């Protein structure tokens, strides 16, 4: 009986924890897709390979982004809402391979600001 209660309790907690977005819709980067602000399948993509966090922090500042202390950024992107062009800035995968963040930024290039609710 005690074993059944534990199993039922675990199932209930799992169901409650998954309210909202299903775990399968949340990517490896911790985000889920909300809604596109644009859609581009034909664009000019430029990639900047960043050598370390110091350079990444400098690039973030140059692009008007405020780095959060203690929060390492693996990648970010800039895109034009008018022109079909996008730049992805990412820590060089030879140094730190993090495909979930590279993919996250590519989705920005295609769909714009697709996560306005999530930071």
User: Which pLDDT tens digit goes with each residue over 81-107?
Assistant: 899 999 999 999 999 999 999 999 999
Place of tokens 């990412």: 90
Cα torsion 74, 101, 119, 89 to 10°: value is 50
In this prediction the pTM is: 0.75
Reply yes or no on whether the pLDDT at 15 is more than 50: no
**What number of other Cβ atoms are within 10 A of residue 9's Cβ?**
10
Instruction: Dump pLDDT digits (tens) for 25-50.
Output: 888 888 899 999 999 999 999 999 99
Query: Interior CA angle at 45 toward 65 and 61, to 5°?
Result: 15
Q: Is 28 exposed, middle or buried (0-12, 13-18, 19+ CB in 10 A)?
A: exposed
Instruction: Dump pLDDT digits (tens) for 49-68.
Output: 999 999 999 999 999 988 87
Domain chopping of the chain, boundaries: 24-111
Reply yes or no on whether the pLDDT at 77 is more than 80: yes
Place of tokens 């714009």: 112
């Amino acid at each position: 009986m005690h074993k059944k209660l534990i199993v039922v309790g675990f199932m209930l907690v799992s169901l409650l924890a998954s309210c909202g977005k299903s775990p399968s819709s949340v990517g490896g980067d911790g985000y889920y897709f909300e809604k596109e602000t644009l859609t581009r399948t034909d664009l000019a993509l430029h990639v900047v390979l960043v050598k370390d966090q110091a350079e990444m922090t400098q690039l973030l500042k140059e692009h008007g982004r405020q780095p959060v202390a203690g929060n390492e950024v693996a990648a970010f992107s800039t895109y034009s809402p008018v022109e079909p062009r996008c730049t992805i800035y990412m820590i060089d995968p030879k140094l730190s391979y993090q495909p979930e963040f590279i993919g996250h930024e590519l989705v920005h290039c295609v769909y714009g600001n697709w996560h306005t609710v999530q930071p």
